Chains A and B, each alone.
Chain A
Amino acid sequence: MSLSPVEGVVLAETTPVGEDPTGSDREFVGRSPGQLAWARLKRDRTAMISGAVLVFLMIVAIAAPLIARLYGVGPNDQFQDRLDGNSMPLGYVGGITGDHWFGLEPRLGRDIFIRMVYGMRTSLFIAFAAALITSAIGVVLGILAGFLGGVVDAVIGWITDVALALPFLIFALAVVPTVALRFYGPRDEVPAAFQVAVLIGVFAAFGWTSTARLVRGQVISLREREFVEAARASGAGLGHMLFRQLLPNIWAPILVSFSLAVPSYVTGEAALSFLGIGILEPTADFGRMIFQSIPYLQTDPAYVFFPGITIFALVLAFNLFGDALRDALDPKSSR
């Protein structure tokens, strides 16, 4: 029986291999759901614009040292001679000039533009690393809880509840300085890399819960589906069912969750810095910059606005892209 484009044109006889009513002998390569999603994403203007912005910002972040060289100013260079008697920057809008595109910081006179570039670098690095780790942990726990059910599910669910009940900020406030003190003395300067690692660790300890819940829900709805049963009926083991059958069906929501987790970590890291336990001096950081700028709210509002707007743009771009990604991956979901 042959396959005709209009099915139900009935019980024809078998045609020899290779003969195809549409007349072509090419090998067909179907478009996978992933490829279809990508095509949909490309058509979405908002997605492309925000995606482009993100790529641009990421390049800026990665190329920070290069930009510093081209720009001619480093993040820790101080320009005291551009400040007036009150340690406020000379000139309009917080000292914007051709040399200093976003003006200078009061008191220390550091260039705001290049500090923001470096600050972006720190933020993005921490956010991506934290999002990756928490996604990984969440996926593993979610799959185990969803697929194995029973006791495993109950235990993991309970652990999730405890993790959710613990107040993140308070614990972070306690852990971060403590860990630093364990390795370095109270007067030593803690290297930036260490601070970054600690922050990532703290995020990882608390942030996996939402991914775990999400993945668990997905797995539960998938495990009763008949293609999973078909695999079981053919003798598939747990590994095959989890990784070959289930995982390809859940990477979409995981990806969306990841893309929306990154901005929340950017925000979270800035919040911790605002409270003084994020990245410390002299490394540039958004949150700390805003915190330090608040006293200058009336006298040098530019100092508050530049980092504020930049972080806003960054998070907004991520949110837009994440939304568009979700729509592209699941066309049924409503915008």
Chain B
Amino acid sequence: MARFLIRRLLGAVLTLFAVSVLSFLMFFALPKDPVSGMCPKNCNAERLERVRAELGLRDPLVVQYTNYMKGIFVGRDLGSAQGGRCDAPCLGYSYVNSEAVTDTLARVLPVTLSIVIPAAVLWLALGVGLGMISALRRGSVLDRLAIGFSLTGASLQLYFVGAVLLLVFCYKLRLVPIPSYTSIFDNPAKWASGLVLAWCALAFLFSAIYARLSRAQMLETLSEDFIRTARAKGLAKSTVYGRHALRAAITPVVTIAGLDVGGALGGTVITETTFGIQGLGRTAVDAVRSGDLPTIMATVLISAFFIVVANIVVDVLYAVIDPRVRLR
């Protein structure tokens, strides 16, 4: 098991490095020059060049990359205009936002986390629960409704659902305030009411997928012989289904859940755009649009980090759920 984990961690580190290299190469090709954007029309070329040199944009690519990576691990010195010494993890300074990237992240990351984590809890509980129940009561009205629900949800678009929810609950019925973010530590009620529409939109769509998936998995598991044996032994239904069947059926759900949550943490761009909330996704989009390289790199690395970590967590969970995996 330990050997397995070490191997996965190594692979993860390598992946992250590859991601950082690829992103660096990719965004270096952006024609948008961050410097020209930050200066009002009358900046002269000389000043721009000086700023560029200070930002290190004139250095060869490899040097820029090395400096950047060095900054992440041990910190580096930026020019005085950028705040001087930048301690590890140093993600650079954004001229567009006029702040250290780490500060930007500290601002927007909680927003995305606040959107994704409660939504994930909702969609997993609802989706897997619905899927299981509908598998157990196959063919009943509830089952058909559940199938209908999941097909509908899987075919809808997030922005469409978001728009409809906004229209109905926010504008027409005025049940919820216009979506915005307040920190949970400041005002939990406002935090929740500001995000509830986003949670519902995400939960609706994702739970449909999970309901479908877990239903199919559960049905397959229920037809296995060992379930028949367990029932024949006289075990209570809750034990058979809850302990035995669930455990066997849950593995693919765990994989997909890991990928989805990991990916979502990297920035739910559509959700944020639809509801007008400034989270990690919107920040990333804005950064790309304005050519803000340090912020772009930071958002890419963070989202890759989440995905990679999610994969490892999924693998560990696999090993916990499925003893056969441990023996490998």
Contact flag (A, B; Cβ within 8 A): yes
A-side residues, CB < 8 A to B, are 158, 161-162, 164-167, 169-171, 173-175, 178, 181-182, 263, 267, 270-271, 274-275, 290-291, 294, 297-298, 301, 304, 308, 311-312, 315-316, 318-320, 333-335
Q: Which residue of B lies closest to A286 (CB)?
A: B157
Q: Which residue of A lies closest to B31 (CB)?
A: A181
Minimal beta-carbon separation of B222 from chain A (angstroms): 8
Complex contact B156–A275 (CB within 8 A): no
B238 within 8 A of A: no
Contact residues of B: prevailing secondary structure: helix
Cα-based distance from A315 to B29 in the complex (angstroms): 35
Complex contact B159–A291 (CB within 8 A): yes
B240 within 8 A of A: no
Complex contact A294–B30 (CB within 8 A): no
Complex contact A297–B163 (CB within 8 A): yes
* Residues of the B chain whose Cβ atoms lie less than 8 Å from the Cβ of A158: 11, 14-15
**Given known A164-B307, A316-B155, A333-B220, contact A170–B267 (CB-CB < 8 A):** yes
**Given known A274-B270, A290-B160, A312-B160, contact A167–B303 (CB-CB < 8 A):** yes
* Residues of the A chain whose Cβ atoms lie less than 8 Å from the Cβ of B11: 158, 161
User: How many A-B Cβ pairs are below 8 Å?
Assistant: 125
Complex contact A170–B152 (CB within 8 A): no
21 contacts between A and B (CB under 8 A): A161-B15, A165-B16, A166-B19, A166-B23, A167-B299, A167-B304, A169-B269, A171-B23, A171-B26, A171-B300, A173-B288, A263-B155, A271-B157, A271-B159, A271-B270, A304-B163, A316-B152, A318-B155, A333-B216, A334-B216, A334-B219
Among B14, B167, B267, B307, point to the contact of A169 (Cβ < 8 A): B267
Cα-based distance from A298 to B31 in the complex (angstroms): 39
**Given known A166-B22, A312-B157, A319-B154, contact A334–B269 (CB-CB < 8 A):** no
Q: Which residue of B lies closest to A304 (CB)?
A: B163
Q: Which residue of B lies closest to A267 (CB)?
A: B157
B166 within 8 A of A: yes
Q: Which residue of B lies closest to A334 (CB)?
A: B219
* Residues of the A chain whose Cβ atoms lie less than 8 Å from the Cβ of B19: 162, 165-166
Minimal beta-carbon separation of A54 from chain B (angstroms): 13
Minimal beta-carbon separation of A181 from chain B (angstroms): 5
Minimal beta-carbon separation of B204 from chain A (angstroms): 13
Cα-based distance from A175 to B25 in the complex (angstroms): 12
Minimal beta-carbon separation of B111 from chain A (angstroms): 17
Known: A169-B284, A170-B284, A271-B159. 18 other contacts (CB 8 A): A165-B16, A165-B308, A167-B303, A170-B303, A173-B288, A174-B296, A175-B26, A178-B29, A178-B30, A271-B157, A275-B269, A275-B285, A290-B163, A297-B167, A311-B157, A312-B155, A316-B152, A318-B155
Contact residues of A: prevailing secondary structure: helix
* Residues of the A chain whose Cβ atoms lie less than 8 Å from the Cβ of B171: 297-298
Complex contact B151–A167 (CB within 8 A): no
Cα-based distance from A315 to B155 in the complex (angstroms): 5
Instruction: Give the interface size class of chain B.
Output: 35 or more
Complex contact A334–B155 (CB within 8 A): no
Complex contact B288–A334 (CB within 8 A): no
Among B15, B159, B267, B289, point to the contact of A294 (Cβ < 8 A): B159
Query: Beta-carbon contacts of B281-293 to A below 8 Å, as 1s and 0s?
Result: 1001100110000
* Complex interface residues of chain B between 254 and 290 (CB less than 8 A to chain A): 259, 263, 266-267, 269-270, 273-274, 281, 284-285, 288-289
B251 within 8 A of A: no
B-side residues, CB < 8 A to A, are 11, 14-16, 18-19, 22-23, 26-27, 29-31, 151-152, 154-160, 163-164, 166-167, 171, 216, 219-220, 223, 259, 263, 266-267, 269-270, 273-274, 281, 284-285, 288-289, 296, 299-300, 303-304, 307-308, 311
Cα-based distance from A124 to B171 in the complex (angstroms): 34
Cα-based distance from A312 to B157 in the complex (angstroms): 7
Minimal beta-carbon separation of A289 from chain B (angstroms): 11
Complex contact B259–A164 (CB within 8 A): yes
Complex contact A167–B266 (CB within 8 A): yes
Complex contact A170–B15 (CB within 8 A): no
Complex contact B311–A178 (CB within 8 A): no
Minimal beta-carbon separation of B295 from chain A (angstroms): 11
Cα-based distance from A263 to B303 in the complex (angstroms): 25
Cα-based distance from A91 to B274 in the complex (angstroms): 28
Minimal beta-carbon separation of A330 from chain B (angstroms): 11
* Residues of the B chain whose Cβ atoms lie less than 8 Å from the Cβ of A263: 155
Q: Which residue of A lies closest to B27 (CB)?
A: A174
Complex contact B15–A162 (CB within 8 A): yes
* Residues of the B chain whose Cβ atoms lie less than 8 Å from the Cβ of A291: 159
Cα-based distance from A263 to B209 in the complex (angstroms): 14
Minimal beta-carbon separation of B227 from chain A (angstroms): 13
Complex contact B167–A301 (CB within 8 A): yes
Minimal beta-carbon separation of B320 from chain A (angstroms): 21
* Residues of the A chain whose Cβ atoms lie less than 8 Å from the Cβ of B274: 294
Cα-based distance from A290 to B296 in the complex (angstroms): 27
* Residues of the A chain whose Cβ atoms lie less than 8 Å from the Cβ of B159: 271, 274, 290-291, 294
* Residues of the A chain whose Cβ atoms lie less than 8 Å from the Cβ of B157: 267, 270-271, 290, 308, 311-312, 315
Q: Which residue of B lies closest to A167 (CB)?
A: B303
